Amino acid sequence: MQRVVVFGSGFVGSVIARALSAREGVEVDVLDIPTHPALARRDEEAAAVVAAAVEGSDVVVNTSGRLRGTDEEMMDANVAWPEWLAEQIESTGVRFVHLGSAAEYGDPGSAEPVAETAAVDPRGIYGESKWLGTQAVLEARAAGLDAVVARGFNLVGPNLAPVSPLHQFITDISVLPPEGGEIELWWPETIRDFVLVEDLAEAVARLALAPAVPDIVNLCSQAAISFREIAEAIAAKQSKAITIRSLDRPGIPAVVGDNTRLRELTGLDPSIDAATIAERASI
C-alpha cells in the first residue's frame, strides 16, 4: 500500500486526490489550511500536524496556493508555504510534488513550445510568486529532497476561477441575447496552451508514483489555441452568432508548453482543441 498526502482540496487538489485514490493500492489523505488553521500559522502545532500526516507516507503533493490577493498574501501562499512545507518533510524520505505554473515563463517571445530548461521571466505578482516557490522547492531538491515541480498550464474544467480567461468568455457570451452579439477581447490572437484538469491530475498522479522524476515537468497539451478560436467555439456551443471586437491590448502574445518530458516520463500525451474547451469548461 502506498500512501499519499495531498495538501489542498480545491479545484485542482480534489481532482488530483480522486486520480490517486482510483489506483489500486494507493491510500490518499487530504489536508487543507481552512480545515487545519494551524497550517496557516506554520508554528509548532502546524509542524506537528504535518509530521503526523506524513508519517508512513510515500508522497506529499502540494496544490495549496493563491491565484489572486495582495502581494503579501501571494508571497505567503505561493512562496513561504511550499518553502516551509519542504523544510518539514526534507528528512522523511517522501517524494514532494509541488504544483507550479506556466506563468513562471512570462513571455517566451514566440508560440514555439517552451521546454522546462528555458529561461523564465515571470510578469506580475502571481507569476513572480510561483517562480519563487518553484525556486524554494528546487533548492530543497538540491539539498536532497526527492522533489519535482509539476508546472501546470491553463486549466479547463468545471467551476473555473474568475481569473481564468475562459470564465470571462463564458460569462460575456452567456449574457448575450439568443441571437448573439458583440463581445470584447483584449487581443483575440492571444495564444495559450490549455489542458483538461483531469489530464493534469493524471499527470500529477503518475509523477507522484514514478520510480524517479526530474526537477520540473510541464503539464500541458502543446496545443496552440487562440482566444478567438475559443470564444467562437463557446458561442457555437450556445448557438449564438458573435462578432469580436479587439481592445488591442496584446499583453503576452503566446505561451505554449513543450510536453516532451511529460510524454517520455509518464506516457501521457494530453490533447485538446477549441471545441473540447467549449464543451468541458464551465463556471
**What is the number of domains present in the chain?**
1
Q: Is residue 124 part of a domain?
A: yes
Q: Is residue 105 part of a domain?
A: yes
The grid cell for 21 is 485514490
Q: Determine the pLDDT at residue 38.
A: 87
Q: How far apart are CA 79 and CA 133, in angstroms?
A: 4
Specify burial of residue 276 (Cβ count, 10 A radius: 0-12, 13-18, 19+): middle
User: Do residues 220 and 272 make contact, with C-beta atoms less than 8 angstroms apart?
Assistant: no
Q: Residue 126 maps to which CATH number?
A: 3.40.50.720
Cα angle: 68, vertex 72, 77; to 5 degrees: 60
Q: Determine the pLDDT at residue 235.
A: 98
Q: Is residue 238 part of a domain?
A: no
Q: Is residue 248 part of a domain?
A: no
Q: Determine the pLDDT at residue 36.
A: 84
Domain extent, residue 116, equals: 2-155+194-221+256-271
Q: Is residue 264 part of a domain?
A: yes
Q: Is residue 123 part of a domain?
A: yes
Q: Is residue 88 part of a domain?
A: yes
User: Do residues 31 and 60 make contact, with C-beta atoms less than 8 angstroms apart?
Assistant: no
Q: Is residue 141 part of a domain?
A: yes
Q: Determine the pLDDT at residue 33.
A: 83
Q: How far apart are CA 97 and CA 62, in angstroms?
A: 6
Q: What's the average pLDDT block by block, 10 residues per block, for the chain (283 residues)?
A: 94 96 96 86 94 95 95 96 96 97 97 97 96 98 98 96 94 97 97 98 98 97 98 98 95 97 97 98 94
